[in-house]
Amino acid sequence: MQDKFKKSVDKLRDQVNKIDDSKSEVKAEMNELINDLEHQMEHPEDNEKLEELNQKVPGLITKFELEHPKLAETLNELMVILSNMGI
């Protein structure tokens, strides 16, 4: 599970790096999420952060699904993985 989680986070990072620099707010928001996801990988016992991610990710999926569909798709993958981790 951790390997799949890491691959999805890496995929998300690659997608964020491809976003045009004029979309700095999107990039900043996604980089903050990536930092939170990396924290979760390093500290899987942190249930508070896990719950925070559970609340944050669905809203980001909705926010980005029209303008950044690939981001939304990867966020959906991460949501499934997080759900399987016990959320």
Q: Where are the domains of the chain?
A: 1-10+50-87
Q: Report, as an integer, the average pLDDT of 33-57.
A: 90
Q: Is residue 1 a contact partner of residue 78, using CB atoms and an 8 Å limit? A: no
pTM: 0.87
Q: How far is CA 70 from the centre of its chain?
A: 12
Would you tell me how many other CB atoms lie within 10 Å of the CB of residue 49? 15
Residue 31: band (very low, low, confident or very high) from pLDDT cuts 50, 70, 90: very high
54-64: b or e for each residue (b if 16 or more CB lie within 10 Å)? eebbeebbeeb
CA-closest candidate to residue 6, choices 76, 70, 81: 81
Report the pLDDT value the prediction gives residue 87, as an integer from 0 to 100.
47
How far is 40 from 34, CA to CA, in rounded Å? 10
pLDDT digits (tens, 9 = 90+) for 50-78: 889 988 999 999 998 998 999 999 999 99
